Structure 1
């Protein structure tokens, strides 16, 4: 069994995805004259993982580094970023996401300028936008990257004590609220989102207290990679009232580890009422079902594995935000499928 850190895995994943794959910052539009005009101006400081950033007034043009969570957090507070990275994996024709576009339409805003971040922050394109601030609480942020970004504009990275790729969507929204001086609004967005998610989950009584595992089968290595409680996917299912399976709880590492590799020899110990498994293709699903080394997984025996290959949905659960989570529960059948999986386990008992 191997425990993999979040940073190591996501850097590799970003490289793999990259191989396959002028709007103002405003409230409801891209006209700077309307953006944050109702917020009292004056110097204020935002504390974060790299120290603190002081603003003389609320930034009007905000560029985003890392498309996971960060653009959505701004938009959930009614603020359209001046620039945001291209969504290359799981994105749509707008180089965006359906949940971002839906909220953008509600606000009457225009698409932000998009730039490629295949090789990391696009310093040149960011500088062209002449932003008042750069927002990036979630993603890969080192001291070197932070210092280079501050040469362009004041930066708001992860909260104090939070490392790369570790900020929850709630923390990202909170940081947006602090930067925009909309802390009460941020709190309300978080509370409203959590309430809507819990209300939706309550419609599925058999999910409450049911155990789950989220991960992916590797037919080449004959292993199963299970996400730990530090990862966004288990956090989502936990918010739906489910409980992470005991085996994963017992074998997960510290806060920085989010992925546990389980060999086929012990896969029979992965007891859970339902398993959510990411897969690249439909062909891979059949390979998994035909793999005799995986046959001892209880959920496979019970027809309680929910396979998912839609990249947009995969992104929604990975890059969690108020916008993506509500889209996932309202526009997809993930809860229906997990509910059926739990029922199949009960029938097999």
Structure 2
């Protein structure tokens, strides 16, 4: 499997497709640095509501800034080079930029965006405004009301999350970004092509639909379980897996996308298969080999799919760029674990 960024599966306007399930690739269009060029469906001015307030966008943005997860990838997939993007301090390497984002920017060309410090998940309004953006796109983020108000009061419309922080479904991120950029038709095509990619993988593995799956991880002695609202669980359900009732039963309400589980309750994660991940193989082995980890029924049976390394772990969260980059490898691991679960 190649891990080179390609073009095509995300549609005519989609900029990149890094090597995962996207095998059929078309030629790349000319680089775009403005959302205004080639806009077919945008009608300005437009208002996009959010949980933090309305974004009133007077005209097609030409200087687009992004914040949170997924917005950068959606902007690139729609052929636009942003002026500012959040740093990726997990999988970004020395340049603090995810490899699929770096390849997408290289393919489109244009001036490299400013990297906004995301190490504390707090937006520096001053740093953002220094890039002179027309709009800030943050539909899947932890943006605060104070941050939203400060940027809006500076004259920059902010497209935040519709309901709550870190809860926007990944497809909605693409749709919202497409609306803000006046590229609704292109965004719809991006999603159609990505859905076709996932559907093809699901059709090739009908056994997934007969299995339940859960996503537990461990960090510094704390055990996390991802909920059905998390995009990583969403993509597993898109592939056919079912989330068992035990996941909701264990939810303490402490977060919108995960819950913590006490060690003595790990045996209640009643799933045929688990998907887990860690930065290093040693960390993964320590979790799966621990007394606590062995309480999970799927660990006992060996029905475990795992991802190791910052890039692969980060790519598990679906976007128009990460899906083509990581889906094939993920499906292969899931197929192996499901075969173990089904005997």
Q: Tell me the TM-score range normalised by the shorter chain.
A: 0.7 to 0.9
Residue in 1 aligned with 2:326? 328
1:338 match: secondary structure: helix
Residue in 1 aligned with 2:66? 64
CA distance in 1, matches of 2:231, 2:245: 18
Residue 180 to residue 336, structure 1, CA distance change in 2 (3 Å): same
Deviation per CA, 1:11-69, whole angstroms, max 9, x where unpaired?
xxxxxxxxxxxxxxxx943655x952655774332233233222331111111223x11
Superposed counterparts of 1:10-29, under 5 Å: 28-29=30-31
Which of 38, 43, 46 is matched with 1:44 structurally?
Answer: 46
Superposed counterparts of 1:198-347, under 5 Å: 198-217=199-218, 220=221, 224-252=223-251, 257-318=256-317, 320-330=318-328, 333-347=329-343
Which of 126, 137, 141 is matched with 2:128 structurally?
Answer: 126
Residue 293 to residue 186, structure 1, CA distance change in 2 (3 Å): closer
Cα pair 1:134 1:153 within 8 Å, conserved: no
Alpha-carbon deviation of 1:299?
1.3
Which stretches in structure 2 are left out of the alignment for 5+ residues?
A: 1-28
Alpha-carbon deviation of 1:328?
1.3
Which of 138, 150, 153 is matched with 1:151 structurally?
Answer: 153
Residue 258 to residue 47, structure 1, CA distance change in 2 (3 Å): closer
Q: How many residue pairs get matched?
A: 313
Residue 253 to residue 36, structure 1, CA distance change in 2 (3 Å): farther
Alpha-carbon deviation of 1:199?
1.0
Alpha-carbon deviation of 1:234?
1.0
Cα pair 1:64 1:71 within 8 Å, conserved: yes
Residue in 2 aligned with 1:6? none
1:306 match: secondary structure: strand
Return the TM-score normalized by structure 1. 0.80
Residue 243 to residue 37, structure 1, CA distance change in 2 (3 Å): closer
Residue in 1 aligned with 2:4? none
2:295 match: secondary structure: coil
1:314 match: secondary structure: helix
For the aligned residue pairs, the C-alpha RMSD in angstroms reads 2.6
Residue in 2 aligned with 1:103? 104
CA distance in 1, matches of 2:38, 2:189: 20
Cα pair 1:28 1:79 within 8 Å, conserved: no
Alpha-carbon deviation of 1:110?
4.3
Cα pair 1:62 1:82 within 8 Å, conserved: yes
Alpha-carbon deviation of 1:85?
1.7
Residue 264 to residue 116, structure 1, CA distance change in 2 (3 Å): closer
Residue 282 to residue 38, structure 1, CA distance change in 2 (3 Å): closer
Which stretches in structure 1 are left out of the alignment for 5+ residues?
A: 1-26
Deviation per CA, 1:172-207, whole angstroms, max 9, x where unpaired?
112112211222222222222112111123222322
CA distance in 2, matches of 1:346, 1:139: 38
Return the TM-score normalized by structure 2. 0.82
Residue 199 to residue 49, structure 1, CA distance change in 2 (3 Å): same
Cα pair 1:174 1:186 within 8 Å, conserved: yes
Alpha-carbon deviation of 1:136?
1.1
Alpha-carbon deviation of 1:159?
4.6
CA distance in 2, matches of 1:306, 1:232: 17
